[in-house]
Structure 1
Amino acid sequence: MFSDYKYTVTERFMRYVQIDTQSDPLSKSFPSTEKQKDLGRLLVAELQAIGITDAALDEHGYVYATLPSNTEKKVPVICFCSHMDTSADSSGKDVKPIIHSNYDGGDIVLPEGDTIIKSSVHTYLQERKGDDIITASGTTLLGADDKAGVAEIMDAVNFLINHPEIKHGAVRILFTPDEEVGRGVEKLDMQKLGAQFGYTMDGGERGSLENESFSADGAKIVIKGVSVHPGTAKDKLISAVKIAAEIIDALPKDSLSPETTEDRQGFIHPVRVNGIVEQAEIDFILRDFITSKLDEHAAFLRNIMETVMAKYPQASATLTVTEQYRNMREMLDLHPQVTAYAEEAIRRAGVEPLRMIIRGGTDGSRLSFMGLPCPNIFTGEMALHGKYEYVSVQDMQKAVQTIVHLAQVWEEHS
């Protein structure tokens, strides 16, 4: 099927990563940065150029498009989704992508920033010996998370349009902003999307299929201290900043943190501290695969806060917990065919499926609870959110094949 196909995924990816789409976790607007729409406009133009007539960018930064059905069968409408934004953890401006052809399996020395991607650290590289590896130049992230997914969906659509002999139902295409700041589907119009089942293309190594994610809450502690001029502060001043530091220091050192947990273990993680003597705030993320344990983590954090605050009766503190997303498996278990069809498609692409869990979340986590059961499929993106990020061209091509096969599988089983 693909033996004579000239993939466009690499060329598309190389274009997309050079557009700065970094989102901003501190922004109150939606999307959090207007520059994300720059990529959205390009994608709309490219979709229209390959024959998708309804491709459009809305005011919130979502790209919606439809690949029409070409079968007489009644096939559920499926959606392929990737996010356009890149992480705020590392610069996404002036990305210079580099292709390292026929990778030799050793360390990759990047030309800028004294950056070396060590194969002994990034061990998946050793499995990709002989592949063509794309990196940034050494001073920025690459943006494979998730522009690899975007490029793969685009190339798969291009393939299906040019191969009408492959039968499929209607396929909805969705590109979202602000996934990296946890708001990717906040303004999504589900009625407008009009899909019954979906797949995010936002996974890592070849063959990976993730149908289980963290459940997630956010927590904020607001501490009110007592501000007094430091020259006359004896026995009067109570620093909210120092109380914040004490609360953080009281967290476990050998458990319940990202750096001390793995697999299905959850954690309490302070991600941001801001304050002055009079008031300080600590933002936390609470994560666990068992949703009920989030309440236990919140209670544990509250106990720490109250124990510390008991030493400062003239100060006060409040803890607020906000739901973020839930483990997608709770919904996907109700629709086992969604994951089963993805496994079948991956196998048809000549790859062994790897059932994996996400120690994090994707747009699919929230989409699954919004009525669109939505597991996550590999893209090849690796070493995310930093200057060591890389992706294999051959992994991206296998992801393109998987999307095509998956559209075909749904049609065959209908």
Structure 2
Amino acid sequence: MQYILDRFVRYITVDTQSDPTNPAFPSTEKQWNLARMLEQELKDIGLSEVVLDENCYLTATLPSNVEHHVPTIGFVAHIDTSPDFSGKNVNPQIHKNYNGENIVLNAEQNIILNATYFDDIQQYKGQTIITTDGTTLLGADDKAGVTEIVSAMEYLVKNPDIKHGKIRICFTPDEEVGKGAHKFDVEAFGAEWAYTMDGSEIGELEYENFNAARAVITVQGKSVHPGYAKNKMVNAILVSQQFINGLPADEVPELTTGHQGFYHLHDIIGDVEKTTLEYIVRDHDLEKFNQRKETMKSLVSSLNQKFEEDIFSIEIKDQYFNMKEKIAPVMHIIDIAAEAMKKENIKPIYKAIRGGTDGSQLSYMGLPCPNIFAGGHNFHGKYEYVPLESIEKATKVIINIAEITANKYL
């Protein structure tokens, strides 16, 4: 297991944070550093058709070692880390034989991973927990997934007695800023289906995700000298509150779970003359998702009627859709993943993703692509951690998927 740990640490110490404000592709030059490192590593372990393209997508092939036809399958992970928290100078801490108690990440700054607050960690007693030093995120999202795919491919190369069909892998940039699948060449990838290794706790097997949209509401006010403002001023900041209050107060992220959707106001920019509200809209059910968008449009219309002029305007743009619609006709790919987990005594946990992955977009691009656990917890912040044993188990699941697929098509 040491070689897996060394590989993971090597990857996470490369800063690959993406940038949502930069339209370039990839959004940060530093993502190339890990991509080039991986390019050489894939060649060194013996993969073929290793290609790093002009958009920082890295693909490679493990050729089939059987004579009968087996569908080409793929495995996908992303190399960038979240812009929400620093990924520079990651200093991993290795906690062997975890005792179930709080973990001090940084004594000097009194940063503690509280085992009661983050109680998922209790299930990993006795295992090796990898954390940050409390000053950065860890990068298990998704460098754990990258580690697992590379390690699995290396194992299959070294153990040709394990039979498998042709396997394609791809490491993508900019997933954390929503662009990970935008320039993915599905036709060139050539797989019948694939799996993203980008889930959280051990056992997760996900083929549902949110339908997602972004909504921007603009409130046009009228700025007048406050000393002479009576019956003239329209304070866009204050008026915008009427839109906020017009949406259901309990349908927000902090009050919803499971399949429940929400309206999330994540940014307000404004002054008296003009105020902009930025929302993300989410729901697993397509009909409810469309109704949420209509609710926002109707609210804008009714407020404009109230003010007797078009003070409010709204722009809504769909972002991605629930991949369940594309996975449902090919549920055998879920069955294969579940069987691969059970072979390692892992109970599959079927969860609806309260977000999206590259797989959701890829599924609508013609590559059915459910999501498998990569092992990490508390993504996008300083309390991120991953059990080393979960990375090892995910690696074995990939190997099992390859072998089970080959056997099913004998």
- The aligned runs of 1:357-376 (5 Å cut-off) are 357-376=352-371
Does structure 1 residue 238 correspond to structure 2 residue 231?
no
Rounded Cα–Cα distance in structure 2 between residues aligned with 1:223 and 1:38: 43
Deviation at 1:249, TM superposition (A): 3.9
Does structure 1 residue 251 correspond to structure 2 residue 247?
yes
Does structure 1 residue 213 correspond to structure 2 residue 209?
yes
Does structure 1 residue 117 correspond to structure 2 residue 130?
no
Runs of 4+ residues deviating >6 angstroms: none
Which residue of 1 is the match for residue 152 of structure 2? Answer: 156
Cα offsets for 1:6-57 (capped at 9, x unmatched): 5632111111111221222222222222222221111111111211242222
CA contact (8 A) 2:303 2:312 kept: no
Which residue of 2 is the match for residue 340 of structure 1? Answer: 335
Rounded Cα–Cα distance in structure 2 between residues aligned with 1:19 and 1:243: 46
Gap regions ≥5 residues in structure 1: 1-5
* AA aligned opposite 1:135: T
Which residue of 1 is the match for residue 46 of structure 2? Answer: 51
Deviation at 1:231, TM superposition (A): 6.1
Give the one of 24, 29, 36 matched to 1:29.
24
Give the one of 265, 288, 292 matched to 1:293.
288
Deviation at 1:81, TM superposition (A): 0.5
Rounded Cα–Cα distance in structure 1 between residues aligned with 2:201 and 2:99: 18
Does structure 1 residue 381 correspond to structure 2 residue 337?
no
Cα offsets for 1:48-86 (capped at 9, x unmatched): 121124222222121111111111121111110011111
Deviation at 1:392, TM superposition (A): 0.1
Deviation at 1:328, TM superposition (A): 1.2
CA contact (8 A) 1:226 1:315 kept: no
Which residue of 1 is the match for residue 81 of structure 2? Answer: 86
Deviation at 1:318, TM superposition (A): 1.8
Cα offsets for 1:248-271 (capped at 9, x unmatched): 244332x21111111111111112
Which residue of 1 is the match for residue 189 of structure 2? Answer: 193
Cα offsets for 1:122-168 (capped at 9, x unmatched): 11211100100000111211111111111111111111111111111
Deviation at 1:315, TM superposition (A): 5.4
CA contact (8 A) 2:235 2:272 kept: yes
CA contact (8 A) 1:238 1:315 kept: no
Rounded Cα–Cα distance in structure 2 between residues aligned with 1:100 and 1:362: 29
Deviation at 1:287, TM superposition (A): 1.0
Cα offsets for 1:186-236 (capped at 9, x unmatched): 111112211110101011111111111111122121222234455655543
Does structure 1 residue 355 correspond to structure 2 residue 350?
yes
Which residue of 2 is the match for residue 330 of structure 1? Answer: 325
Mean Cα deviation higher: 24-33 or 304-313 = 304-313
Cα offsets for 1:316-356 (capped at 9, x unmatched): 22212212111111111100110000001111122122222
Cα offsets for 1:352-374 (capped at 9, x unmatched): 22222211111111111111111
Mean Cα deviation higher: 275-284 or 200-209 = 275-284
Does structure 1 residue 394 correspond to structure 2 residue 406?
no
Rounded Cα–Cα distance in structure 2 between residues aligned with 1:359 and 1:214: 6
Mean Cα deviation higher: 8-17 or 73-82 = 8-17
CA contact (8 A) 2:48 2:63 kept: no
Secondary structure of residue in 1 paired with 2:300: helix
Give the one of 49, 62, 66 matched to 2:61.
66
| Backbone CA RMSD of aligned residues | 1.8
Does structure 1 residue 99 correspond to structure 2 residue 105?
no
Rounded Cα–Cα distance in structure 1 between residues aligned with 2:6 and 2:381: 22
Gap regions ≥5 residues in structure 2: none
Rounded Cα–Cα distance in structure 1 between residues aligned with 2:352 and 2:53: 32
Change (3 A) 1:311 1:264: same
Rounded Cα–Cα distance in structure 2 between residues aligned with 1:292 and 1:324: 16
TM (norm. structure 2) is 0.94
Rounded Cα–Cα distance in structure 2 between residues aligned with 1:38 and 1:15: 12
Rounded Cα–Cα distance in structure 1 between residues aligned with 2:264 and 2:120: 27
CA contact (8 A) 1:7 1:155 kept: no
Rounded Cα–Cα distance in structure 2 between residues aligned with 1:357 and 1:168: 30
